[in-house]
Amino acid sequence: MDSIKKYIGGFFGSLAERIFVFFIALFISQGPQYMNLYLNVLSGATAEAEKSVKLIETKANELGMTVPQFIKDLTASNSQAATKSGEIHEAQLKRFESLKAAFTAIKNAGAFSRPFIFLRHADWTLAKSVQFQPALPFTLEALGYVIAGIILGMILFRALAILPKKIFGIKKSPMPA
């Protein structure tokens, strides 16, 4: 217990550390808000991609083909335009599958695994489209993020305060009597 008190100090230590920890916690508490806004953008992109895939499917069905057969027929064509069109359709199909998988994974993720799943599946071109509005979240999930932010802030501040001393060999000077 004494080691915890020694590490934490008087509540959080210096005023600089308190301010640093506050801003880290505030920044991390915005995670759920940003991920929800990203899910909205991802949902729209997935719906638009699905619409394109359905159109490809309709055209393939009109010819009595499956989508893979339709794309294979286009890409194997002697016409460069048809070949390029097949490549575009194939890319649209892959994009739809990717967006759908990302949406499902992020939406179904637990509160504390969501940031890691978000980072794994994020499409950064879509992430740029998020119209982020900071919020003051009042959810249990956000409280967990704030606590994680406080702990991370404390660790980062202490690391940033200690590392230069260890790297450059700076030692505490003895206090004059």
How much is the pLDDT for 11?
52
pLDDT digits (tens, 9 = 90+) for 140-177: 888 888 888 889 988 888 888 887 777 776 665 555 55
How much is the pLDDT for 86?
92
Give residue for tokens 């309709």.
Answer: 58
Q: Which DSSP state fits 170?
A: -
Q: Which DSSP state fits 144?
A: H
Local confidence band at 120 (pLDDT 50, 70, 90 cut-offs): very high
State pTM to two decimals.
Answer: 0.72
Q: Is the C-alpha dihedral spanning 107, 111, 115, 120 positive or negative?
A: negative
